[in-house]
Amino acid sequence: MRVLVTGATGFIGRRLAPALEADGHEVVAMTRNPDRYAGVGRAVFGDVHDAGSLADVLSDVDAAYYLVHSLDSDDFVRRDADAASAFGAAAGDAGLRRIVYLGGLGDDSDELSDHLRSRRQVEGLLAGGGVPVTTLRAGIVVGHGGISWEMTRQLVEHLPAMITPRWVSTRTQPIAVDDVVRYLVGVLTLPEGTDRAYEIGGPDVLAYGAMMRRVAEIEGRHPIIVPVPLLSPGLSSRWLALVTDVDTRTGRSLVDSMVNEVVVRDDAIRQAVPFEPLSYDEAVLRALAERARAQAREREAEEDPT
């Protein structure tokens, strides 16, 4: 298939494009800066916030991956809704066979955060143009460069002791980025009628505090974690911005979502795309190894700029 990847330079997109090519698909990488694109596939200009740019991009592809969001914007709910509506309509006009969207876990009966409610809203708006939408709902994705993972790693590495909000006791089901990519590639060619939401996660269900302790153990650290019930989301996001490189707006959206338990309730994906996901510890080891390799490449580039 000829497949469009939005967010092709992002955390997921830059891993997905080569995996799709390895699986025999032709990749079209949508980016706002095609001249600077150095990844897999044919780069084309497109911007989900510029509806006029979408018709040409979608005119010659069979399917599309929607991997973009505006979490770093104060107005991300409206921006993401407008973008999804425009993309869904353009995909319908172009006659695409499928849209694949990476959303977020969370129980619909729960009082979901703005972030998770927005992810649900985007699912519906993408389908507004009549194109079947297959959604993968994930919690924390563990991999070098992922915002939630980097927040976890940096907290562990930067602080010998942490005064943390109540969300450290909330359960989540982290998943390795390699497994997310496997699922994304796998659902592309599922039979018609499989345009539904699938929940994806690794084998381990852990509280956020336990996740941090596992990372600390792997790195040989021994941080002290002290939950404080009265630490508000606003203060939590400012605290994150001080001790990590996650900006305050993104941190606030993530913190708000951490009060919601995000675990897999329906494992239908295990039959649709069967394989054994990596454990949390293995996902952490891979993320740390990738970071070490990236740092080594940066040092080599600085020593030999030619």
Q: Give the tens place of pLDDT for each residue, 72-83.
A: 677 888 999 999
* Confidence at residue 83, expressed as pLDDT on a 0 to 100 scale: 94
Q: How far apart are CA 115 and CA 121, in angstroms?
A: 10
* Confidence at residue 15, expressed as pLDDT on a 0 to 100 scale: 97
* Confidence at residue 304, expressed as pLDDT on a 0 to 100 scale: 76
Q: How far is CA 78 from CA 104, 121, 243, in A?
A: 17, 10, 29
* Confidence at residue 233, expressed as pLDDT on a 0 to 100 scale: 58
* Confidence at residue 159, expressed as pLDDT on a 0 to 100 scale: 75
* Confidence at residue 260, expressed as pLDDT on a 0 to 100 scale: 80
Q: How far apart are CA 124 and CA 160, in angstroms?
A: 43
Give the DSSP letter string of 3-51. EEETTTTSTTHHHHHHHHHHTTPEEEEEES-GGG--SSSEEEE--TT-G
The tens digit of pLDDT for each residue in 8-37 reads: 999 999 999 999 999 999 999 999 999 999
pLDDT tens string, the chain, 306 residues long: the values are: 999 999 999 999 999 999 999 999 999 999 999 999 999 999 999 999 999 999 999 999 999 999 998 776 778 889 999 999 999 999 999 999 999 999 999 887 777 777 788 889 999 999 999 999 999 999 999 999 998 898 888 888 887 776 666 667 889 999 999 999 999 999 999 998 778 999 999 999 999 889 989 999 999 988 877 776 655 556 666 666 677 777 766 766 676 667 788 999 999 999 999 999 999 999 999 999 999 999 999 888 888 766
Q: How far is CA 196 from CA 32, 93, 107, 200, 220, in A?
A: 29, 21, 16, 13, 42
Q: How far apart are CA 122 and CA 108, in angstroms?
A: 14
* Confidence at residue 219, expressed as pLDDT on a 0 to 100 scale: 93
Q: Containing H/E element for 99?
A: strand 98-104
* Confidence at residue 253, expressed as pLDDT on a 0 to 100 scale: 65
* Confidence at residue 107, expressed as pLDDT on a 0 to 100 scale: 83
Task: Extract the tokens encoding 167.
Answer: 């969300």
* Confidence at residue 109, expressed as pLDDT on a 0 to 100 scale: 73
Q: Which residues contact 56 (CB under 8 A, 6 or more apart)?
A: 44
* Confidence at residue 74, expressed as pLDDT on a 0 to 100 scale: 74
